A = this chain, B = another copy of it.
């Protein structure tokens, strides 16, 4: 069994990792590190785990684990790895944004590979260090990459996406207070969301000459889980051509599927799937992409990357029952 360590154990993504790993056939949780909760049962914080897990949080690290998941606030992975040393056989998957950009990917003697399997599965298989993509970045890239792969993004891309409140993390805040968010809607960081960096980087990786603008409006929805993203850009080809392009691009993808029907968010909640739908209006191609922000957008994709890095079936531990309702 692969021995797993989790750093930053009290947050949402760590909780999701624990939920996935307790049912993973080839991995085992070795420790869950949380200094503020050390000595408490994990099920005191992740309270659905009563009856499933007796393990306690620890403030002691086992530097010999096979794989380490970093579930820390953005910027804190660098800090953590500077202050702690692990075996050089320990693989690391960082769920933060510290190592996602080319300019940040080398740290100490480690080179982080951007962990979007639909973009570069082979590179992930041979990587020891993974920068796990951001949630919005995952949904949006999966909607854009097939176009980029054929050099077809030649005008501005207009994106509108809405995320659930788990996207804002566990910290209490005005915009995650129930009475505020219930039955409410709002945007934030218009056109300047931090995920634009990794999105642009991947698009250029596939379409070197890309020089249009990606205009991204992120919104806060009144639900807890999921991302619903739509984008459109000029596209001269036919709808059938677009469908063929996307289906071909995702023919080996284990979790990303093209739907003939219009989509709604709950189709993917509590799964590791991404569903894509295509629609043509005049010379615009409209692409819809839905994911669960905590799974395909974070912890599920991290497990998918772990599976690939250890030569396991990509879907191991990720055959999840959708909530749907």
Tell me the complex Cα distance, A259–B166, Å: 25
Complex contact B160–A265 (CB within 8 A): no
Instruction: Count chain A residues whose beta carbon lies closer than 8 angstroms to a beta carbon of B.
Output: 80
Min distance, Cβ A1 to any Cβ of chain B, angstroms: 16
Copies of the polypeptide in the assembly: 4
A107 sits at the interface (CB 8 A) = no
B residues near A228, Cβ cutoff 8 Å: 185-186
Which residue of B has the minimal Cβ distance to A44? B261
Tell me the complex Cα distance, A230–B273, Å: 29
Tell me the complex Cα distance, A284–B176, Å: 29
Question: Given the interface contacts A190-B281, A262-B186, does A275 sit within 8 Å of B50 by beta carbon?
Answer: yes
Which of A76-84, A146-154, A214-222 forms part of the interface with chain B? Answer: A214-222
B residues near A225, Cβ cutoff 8 Å: 183, 323, 325
Complex contact B191–A182 (CB within 8 A): no
A111 sits at the interface (CB 8 A) = no
Tell me the complex Cα distance, A172–B262, Å: 20
- Which A residues are within 8 Å of any B CB, using their own CB? 12, 15, 19-20, 22-23, 44, 46-51, 158, 160, 162, 164-166, 170, 172-174, 176-188, 190-192, 215, 217, 221-226, 228, 230, 232, 255, 257, 259, 261-271, 273, 275, 279, 281-282, 284, 286, 288, 294, 319-325
A-B contact pairs, 5 of them (CB 8 A): A165-B178, A172-B177, A176-B178, A225-B325, A270-B321
